[in-house]
Amino acid sequence: MNRKKIVLAEDNSTLSLLLKFRLEKEGYELYMAVNGKEAVALIEEHTPDLILTDIMMPFISGLEVISHVRNKLELEIPIIVFSSAGQEEMVLKAFDLGANDFMGKPFSPNELVIRVKRQLS
Amino acid sequence: MIDFQMLIEYYGESPFLIKLAWITSLVLSVSIILLTVYLKFARTLLRKKEVDSLKFRAAYEALLIEYIYSGDEVSIISDNQKRIIDELKPQVLDRSKRKVIISVLYKLMNQVSGEVTDAVKILFKESGLINYALKKTQSKKWHVKAKGIGEFTRFKIESVQDEIKKHLTHPLREVRKEAHFYFVNLFHFEGLTFLDTIKTPLSEWDQIQMLEILQRFTNQEICDIKPWLKSSNDTVILFALKLAKVYNQYEVKDELMDLLSHKNKHIRIQVIEVLTHLYGIEAKDVLKANFTELSLEEQISFFGLLEKLVVPDDEPFVEKHLFHKDFEIQLLALKILKSINIDKYMGLSELPLHEKSPAMLKLTNTN
């Protein structure tokens, strides 16, 4: 069976690992990036079915990743952003740039799985 | 050999200051060499420590994820989870490894919620980390104590509440603050019972943080705040006023009315602001009657209340203060007059310049 590909951009290694484990359990193929730069490279290389990205990341932020996907690569891949408390304005910017959904930290990995499934259905 | 002898002779014949310069430069040179060697050694040691810590972090992260996802629905801790906990117990004894474990767990608790946090909480208890946190709260150093309480807050350990209760009245603000946050974070509004007895002040920043914590919870059913509005601790009253405003506590209007005559001016001002927010129309007549006895800040706050709750009957009072000595009150009075009697307000523009108040002049210039 052809597994759906997800690029996960998150600089917190424990959270990344946790989500990777959870999403792989659901049958998705995960590509991990620790910053926006790596995420962009992975997106260009694998053209995933969904992108999960944190807003605040080193080198290139989540917002720049969204902008790159929507404006430069012109891809309509669903994007879910993670944000922390106090980043409400950033979330609005992310939606303006073309994000499809967001999850405020702390979030439940189970809820993330539900949202991922909804975006990919 | 001859050169060396010449050097000794040269040194022996040199004046005192030259000798001193030579000795100083020699001492400094030796110190620099020793320090360089020491720094090189320390740097190598730190790098090695960092590499070890990164290796341990990576190994531990993988173990933690395995632990989180190896739970079953039959028991609280599955056999695999028990095995992982047993594997972790000896690591916890090592101070640097314990530090890594705590930092990873801390980060994870900040990022995820739900079932994962329950698993982490069990790990914190079963691995023995709870005992180290308890030891920290018993430390003589205040920052260690505060850190220990913070760990219990972060990992939501309710069983130590009696231990934390002891620190609610700690002489140091930082420790007290952590104890307050522990109770608010874990027991929400019920955790605020410490306000009944607290004698020490709550800083403005602490009050804001507590409100922020309370607003994070889904259950927003607030407890009775009336006793805190009658507290002998002024900062408790100020915090209760914030609660009354944020949670629209209309039922405490009588207590608020009583506070209008509180001895603390700051409280009186805050009460007027809360009453404005809660449409405390009853306060209007009381404040109007005592207007001249109020401080300037209270008078300004009262005009703020009037701006929101004005009725046509208030016109003579407002008109009386169009030429108040304070510019802000003049301006508010003009605004209020405009909202209740536009004709009279327009009529004021007919006044000759020398009869106009500074606020009227300002408005004329703006228009």
Verify whether the Cβ–Cβ distance A108 to B113 is below 8 Å: yes
Please tell me if residue A59 touches chain B, with a CB cutoff of 8 Å. Answer: no
Which pLDDT score is estimated for B124? Answer: 93
Q: Tell me if B175 is assigned to some domain.
A: no
**C-beta separation of A73 from A101 below 8 A:** no
For residue A24, what are its two tokens?
Answer: 């792989």
Q: Which residues pair with A9 in a beta bridge?
A: A33, A53
If one counts every other C-beta atom within 10 angstroms of the C-beta of residue B359, the result is: 21
Best probe of the B interface among A10, A11, A13, A14, by most B CBs < 10 A, is A14
Verify whether the Cβ–Cβ distance B111 to A22 is below 8 Å: no
Q: 10-residue block means of pLDDT along chain B (367 residues)?
A: 80 89 95 97 95 91 90 78 91 90 91 87 92 94 95 94 93 94 94 93 95 86 92 96 95 95 95 95 91 93 93 90 89 90 82 76 69
Please tell me if residue B73 touches chain A, with a CB cutoff of 8 Å. Answer: no
Verify whether the Cβ–Cβ distance B112 to A21 is below 8 Å: no
**C-beta separation of A81 from A109 below 8 A:** no
Average pLDDT over all residues of chain B: 91
Q: What is the mean pLDDT of residues A32-57?
A: 95
Beta-carbon contacts of residue B267 (< 8 Å; ≥ 6 apart): B234, B237, B238, B241, B259
Give one DSSP letter per residue of B94-126, joined into a string: SHHHHHHHHHHHHHHHHHB-THHHHHHHHHHHH
Q: What is the mean pLDDT of residues A57-62?
A: 90
Q: Which chain B positions have a beta carbon within 8 Å of A105's beta carbon?
A: 110-112
Please tell me if residue B218 touches chain A, with a CB cutoff of 8 Å. Answer: no
Q: Tell me if B9 is assigned to some domain.
A: yes
DSSP state of A58: S
For residue B279, what are its two tokens?
Answer: 């449409």
Give one DSSP letter per residue of B313-324, joined into a string: GGHHHHHHTTT-
Give the phi and the psi of residue B232 in degrees, each rounded to 5. Answer: -85, -10
Give CA–CA dist B132/B92, Å, rounded. 9
If one counts every other C-beta atom within 10 angstroms of the C-beta of residue B168, the result is: 17
What is the distance in angstroms between the Cα of B220 and the nearest Cα belonging to chain A? 19
Q: Tell me if B353 is assigned to some domain.
A: no
Q: Tell me if B68 is assigned to some domain.
A: yes
**C-beta separation of B160 from B132 below 8 A:** no
Q: Tell me if B232 is assigned to some domain.
A: no
For residue B346, what are its two tokens?
Answer: 């327009």
Domain count, chain B: 1
For residue B84, what are its two tokens?
Answer: 């992982």
Residue in chain A nearest B216 by alpha carbon = A85
Please tell me if residue A110 touches chain B, with a CB cutoff of 8 Å. Answer: yes
Q: Which chain A positions have a beta carbon within 8 Å of B65's beta carbon?
A: 14, 17-18, 21
**C-beta separation of B300 from B329 below 8 A:** yes
Which pLDDT score is estimated for B351? Answer: 77
Residue reference for tokens 């509005």:
B229
Taking only the tens place, the pLDDT of each residue in B6-55 is 888 888 888 999 999 999 999 999 999 999 999 999 999 999 999 998 99
Which pLDDT score is estimated for A41? Answer: 96
Burial B123-162 (b: 16+ CB within 10 A, else e): bbebbbbbebbeebbeeeebeebbbbbbbbbbbebeebee
For residue B301, what are its two tokens?
Answer: 């706050």
Using alpha carbons, list the distances in angstroms from residue B70 to B25, B28, B89, B157: 66, 61, 18, 22
Domain range for B122: 1-127
pLDDT band of A59, cuts 50, 70, 90: confident
Complete domains list, chain A, with CATH = 5-120 (3.40.50.2300)
Verify whether the Cβ–Cβ distance A14 to B114 is below 8 Å: no
Q: Tell me if B62 is assigned to some domain.
A: yes
Handedness of CA B47, B52, B56, B58 (dihedral sign): positive
Q: Which chain A positions have a beta carbon within 8 Å of B115's beta carbon?
A: 108, 110
What is the distance in angstroms between the Cα of B201 and the nearest Cα belonging to chain A? 28
Give the phi and the psi of residue A33 in degrees, each rounded to 5. Answer: -130, 140
What is the distance in angstroms between the Cα of A58 and the nearest Cα belonging to chain B? 17
CB contacts < 8 Å between A and B, how many? 51
Please tell me if residue B104 touches chain A, with a CB cutoff of 8 Å. Answer: yes
Best probe of the A interface among B112, B115, B123, B212, by most A CBs < 10 A, is B112
Nearest to B278 by CA among B253, B306, B242: B253
If one counts every other C-beta atom within 10 angstroms of the C-beta of residue B195, the result is: 22
Which pLDDT score is estimated for B74? Answer: 64
- pTM equals 0.80
Q: Tell me if B79 is assigned to some domain.
A: yes
Please tell me if residue B238 touches chain A, with a CB cutoff of 8 Å. Answer: no
Give CA–CA dist B166/B179, Å, rounded. 9
Q: Tell me if B287 is assigned to some domain.
A: no
Which pLDDT score is estimated for A99? Answer: 96
